[in-house]
Amino acid sequence: MTSTSGRSHGECPTDADLAKAAAAGDRTAFAAIYQRYSVRLHKYCVTVVHDHHLAADCVHDAFCAAATELPRLRDPDKLAPWLYAITRRNALRALRLRHREAASDEVADSPSAEPEPFTVASRNELAHLLTQATEGLPERDRRVLELTYQQGLTGPELAAALGISHDSAKKLLQRVRATVERSIGALLVVRRADLNGCRTLAATLAGSDGKFTVLLRKRVARHIESCAPCDDYRRSVFNAATILRDAA
């Protein structure tokens, strides 16, 4: 027995299978697309608008648009980045509208009381470390991390979701990854500062009250680059690839 996607019953249809079937008017296929991506798109949208209800509206509008635009999707294999791109446009449009409303002295939507994705992920030490290391990053950089490490988008998919070229997405991801790795290294050295014995580092940390601010992070990172003992210690405890992968 075969389904509308052309696959045997029990096999999981690919994105391309579902996109083609839905574009041809198969409502079951479109429902399957919704079931597969609605939660993921909502989580991503929350990182953009910081409001669960507004994110739900954006995702709803994205699927309404998808229902109309699916027949025009040239590459059915690109269903996922296509959906992310539509959702991103809706989210940015919603933010612009909310800002205009706030400028008109209307009561703005209350920000979500729910923790952000990286905070939600802090159920373990690695995720908590990543949360601290990414504080102060621009919103766009945080979205790049969310799409890459939590949503699993890479290469052309990441570029499509961000609405930029593949080369630009590659350079952006490299820059963000380097920034986060530098930040994590600084944080790890600060956490073991009492064992390190570096007087210059101790002086840098004096008066910080234990708060790892963006400014302190930059100062410590610069110090590590010029201090061989601190850099050696950072290397001994730091594996950025493992931290970024396991915290996602």
Residue 67: CATH number of its domain: 1.10.1740.10
Is 230 in the same domain as 174? yes
For every residue of 185-223, DSSP letters joined together read HHHHHHHTHHHH--HHHHHHHTTSTT---HHHHHHHHHH
In a domain, 108, yes or no: yes
Q: Please report, for residues 3, 22, 57, 98, the alpha-carbon distance to residue 29 in angstroms, rounded to integers and kept in the order given.
A: 10, 5, 22, 34
In a domain, 2, yes or no: no
* pLDDT score, position 36: 93
Is 87 in the same domain as 173? no
In a domain, 76, yes or no: yes
Number of domains the chain is built from: 2
Distance CA 193, CA 40 (A): 39
Is 92 in the same domain as 19? yes
Is 198 in the same domain as 233? yes
Is 36 in the same domain as 79? yes
Is 174 in the same domain as 110? no
In a domain, 6, yes or no: no
In a domain, 133, yes or no: no
Q: SS3 of 8, please?
A: strand
The domain in which residue 77 lies consists of: 15-114
In a domain, 126, yes or no: no
Is 148 in the same domain as 83? no
Residues 6 or more apart whose Cβ sits within 8 Å of residue 237:
188, 192
pTM of the model: 0.49
Per-residue tens of pLDDT for the chain, all 248 residues: 445 555 555 578 999 999 999 999 898 999 999 999 999 999 888 888 888 888 898 999 889 888 888 988 889 999 999 999 899 888 888 888 877 665 544 444 444 444 444 333 333 455 666 677 677 677 788 888 778 877 778 788 888 888 888 888 888 888 888 887 888 778 777 777 766 678 888 887 786 766 667 788 788 888 888 888 888 777 766 555 444 554 44
In a domain, 25, yes or no: yes
In a domain, 3, yes or no: no
What is the Rg, in whole angstroms, of the alpha carbon atoms belonging to the chain? 22
